[in-house]
Homo-oligomer: A and B are copies of this chain.
Amino acid sequence: MEKTKEHRGLYIGRFQPYHLGHHMILTQIAREVEELVICIGSAQVSHELKNPFTGGERVLMVKSAIEELPIKCYVIPIMDVMRNAIWVAHVVSLTPGFEIVYSNNPLNKRLFDEAGFKVRSTAFYERDVYSGTEIRRRMIAGEEWENLVPDAVCKVIHECDGVSRVQDLARYDTGK
């Protein structure tokens, strides 16, 4: 029943970092759409305890990790606009056209719904473990975190000296 697939879906995440929870969600979505637009949200933010990686580093993580997905994907860093009322127009202007939005964020769901898009929730996969917060906590504590992310992402994090950066930021996080 290929025909019931939506043509193009949108998924927005911060990916700080990309982890296996994201991966399972995207793998599921890839069965429901023909093409997928993956937006890297808050792309301008980095070097904060909750947002250690740059937009470019996250592009690299996501692109590396999704290579095995069987559909065409667009990976697009999106900077914040700080105005909810223009958020949808902002995303739309920087992405290929899409018909359906996948999200568990009530705000995103509300905004895209008010703008007339079809919105669908995504499943969670052991959210306590597969989460950016837990991974960053483990990095700071010196615990094992590598098993929570795809191998390709692990490589990117090591190449940008990511663990040391998170540990540095943990000593004093302000955003200046």
Q: Does A79 contact B (CB under 8 A)?
A: yes
Q: Does A171 contact B (CB under 8 A)?
A: yes
Q: What residues of chain B lie closer than 8 Å to A89, measured between beta carbons?
A: 85-86, 88-90
State which of B55, B87, B160, B168 has its C-beta within 8 Å of the C-beta of A94: B55
The residue of chain B having its C-beta at the shortest distance from the C-beta of A46 within the complex is B85
Interface size on A, residues (CB 8 A): 56
Q: What residues of chain B lie closer than 8 Å to A86, measured between beta carbons?
A: 81, 86, 89-90, 93
Q: What residues of chain B lie closer than 8 Å to A87, measured between beta carbons?
A: 176
Copies of this polypeptide in the complex: 6
Are B173 and A107 in contact, with the CB atoms below 8 A? Answer: yes
List CB contacts (< 8 Å) of A75-107 with chain B. 75-77, 79-90, 92-97, 105-107
Q: Tell me, in angstroms, the Cα distance from A9 to B15 when the chains sit together.
A: 24
Q: What residues of chain B lie closer than 8 Å to A94, measured between beta carbons?
A: 43-44, 54-56, 59, 77
Are B85 and A176 in contact, with the CB atoms below 8 A? Answer: no
Q: Does A4 contact B (CB under 8 A)?
A: no
Q: Tell me, in angstroms, the Cα distance from A54 to B103 when the chains sit together.
A: 23
The residue of chain B having its C-beta at the shortest distance from the C-beta of A43 within the complex is B94
Are A83 and B44 in contact, with the CB atoms below 8 A? Answer: yes
Q: Tell me, in angstroms, the Cα distance from A82 to B44 when the chains sit together.
A: 9
Given contacts A56-B97, A79-B79, A85-B89, 15 further A-B contacts (CB under 8 A): A46-B83, A46-B85, A47-B111, A56-B95, A56-B96, A63-B96, A76-B77, A86-B89, A87-B176, A107-B172, A107-B173, A107-B175, A110-B168, A110-B169, A114-B165
